[in-house]
A = this chain, B = another copy of it.
């Protein structure tokens, strides 16, 4: 994910700047050098995809415990200054921008793995733990944490944006694997939600209300996660198809047969070409599925053979699969490097990434129409998708300094979002709303937005928790 900051905007505080100054003086007194107002650090804490303007917070505080987060939130509340939680800054829709100024709470030092309960296949971590850190820690336990959004995001950030990624088709998204949370609410109280039981009918599902709330209802500081046993065997491979339609039909058949595929990813022609060049692969430049199966030795063989038959039925193949770790690693590294591979198609451009998700029966149509749209606009935009879920990403290579190109790209993103919504899908499958998708939310949810607003108003009456995100300005 890109680390370069975009244009810089002046912050606008909701509190007066006097309140913000007084607050920062208090925080500097309490947190010493862990409270910083350096320009570079503030800009880095508002970094997003480059197409959104950088809106830095007034200060950054590095919190080291839930109690410290609560103290910062209480101080912000009493000074009516916004709070913006920050994990690793790998989000894509302006989630960490501070359009109204405020204090960025950096949670990266809350990186303790608090407990791992092997018998129960769960663990509890602080919000700043990253997914790779957690999986390194788990390596010898026989367990793993399956959610893989590509970036080495923090678990707190992944929870806040309801992240998912390549494994979601089998292992679910953050909404499925988060069992419980510790949250600092807008008034600086600390609550815990959910618990370690696998299921519960005891009251409102606050856990899933906070999952995906993007910091707008409170700051997530600890997360209890469901884990999975490491599979005994893994097989994987690639399968070319003559066109997007036949690839999607093979995906539908795979899901419908209940084949427990762990990953099933579509790369369009252009993305395959980019990956060939960037990752030294020699794939045919045609719509291609990347697959992975998890299970017993016999199980993954059976699954691979069944998929092979499905692919053939829909005119695809041959499906070349391997259980050798090195070959699989090369493929999946290429898949994860798709972003950087895409960039080589126009090295001087910036990348504007967007994602949508549709019912899989509409996937082929949605991808095909989007490809047509791309061609008609003359833009360069490879497509890669978590197609088992009907979710795909478009990476538009765009010169943001060219106003016309920027407008063309924004209009393309808008058409894509509305196309997905009109097909019974959503304007974002896994990247979240942030600032980038706000304008599509009422079209997608209608009057349910008013219910979301009522909840926001009830839990954050002064609108200080990551203001200017998710809910459209009324």
Contact = CB atoms under 8 A, between A and B. Distances in A.
B201 A429 contact: yes
Contacts of A302: 296, 298-299
A425 B120 CA distance: 12
Contact of A459 (B118, B420, B455): B455
Contacts of A198: 357, 359-360, 389-391, 429
A203 B256 CA distance: 28
A457 interface: yes
Q: Give the most central of A205, A302, A454: most B CB within 10 Å.
A: A205
B168 A199 contact: yes
A162 B471 CA distance: 27
A208 interface: yes
Contact of A196 (B164, B359, B432): B359
Interface string A225-269: 000110110000000000000000000100111101000000000
Residue in A252, A391, A437, A458 whose Cβ sees the most chain B Cβ within 10 Å: A458
Contact of A357 (B162, B199, B296, B445): B199
Contacts of A36: none
Interface in A182-197: 185, 189-193, 195-197
Interface string A430-474: 111100010011001111111110111111000000000011000
Contacts of A449: 203
A202 B426 contact: yes
Contacts of A409: none
B119 A252 contact: yes
Contact of A433 (B203, B255, B454, B456): B203
Contacts of A168: 199
A77 interface: no
A448 B211 contact: no
Contact of A211 (B189, B205, B447): B205
A448 B357 contact: no
B199 A389 contact: yes
Please indicate which of the listed interface residues A204, A208, A212, A431 has the most CB atoms of chain B within 10 Å of its own CB: A204
A428 B201 CA distance: 6
Contacts of A437: 202
A429 to B, nearest CB: 5
A161 interface: yes
Contact of A432 (B191, B201, B232): B201
A455 B458 contact: yes
Q: How many copies of the shown chain assemble into the complex?
A: 2
Interface residues of A, number: 93
A40 B120 CA distance: 48
A142 interface: yes
A161 B205 CA distance: 11
B202 A213 contact: no
A368 interface: no
Contacts of A197: 357-359, 389-391, 420, 424-426, 429
A428 B202 contact: yes
A427 interface: yes
Contact of A175 (B208, B252, B358, B441): B208
Contacts of A299: 299, 302
Contacts of A361: 117, 119-120
Nearest to A301: B298
A349 to B, nearest CB: 26
Given A199-B430, A445-B202, A229 B257 contact: yes
A111 interface: no
A260 B260 contact: yes
Given A191-B447, A252-B119, A255-B121, A204 B209 contact: yes
Contacts of A203: 212, 433, 441, 444-445, 449, 452, 470-471
Interface of A: 117-122, 142, 161-164, 168, 173, 175-176, 185, 189-193, 195-206, 208-209, 211-213, 217, 228-229, 231-232, 252, 255-258, 260, 296, 298-299, 302, 306, 357-361, 389-391, 420, 424-433, 437, 440-441, 444-452, 454-459, 470-471
Given A164-B199, A202-B426, A228-B258, 5 more contacts: A117-B361, A122-B359, A175-B205, A197-B358, A201-B433
8 contacts: A195-B424, A197-B391, A203-B445, A203-B449, A204-B455, A229-B256, A454-B458, A454-B459
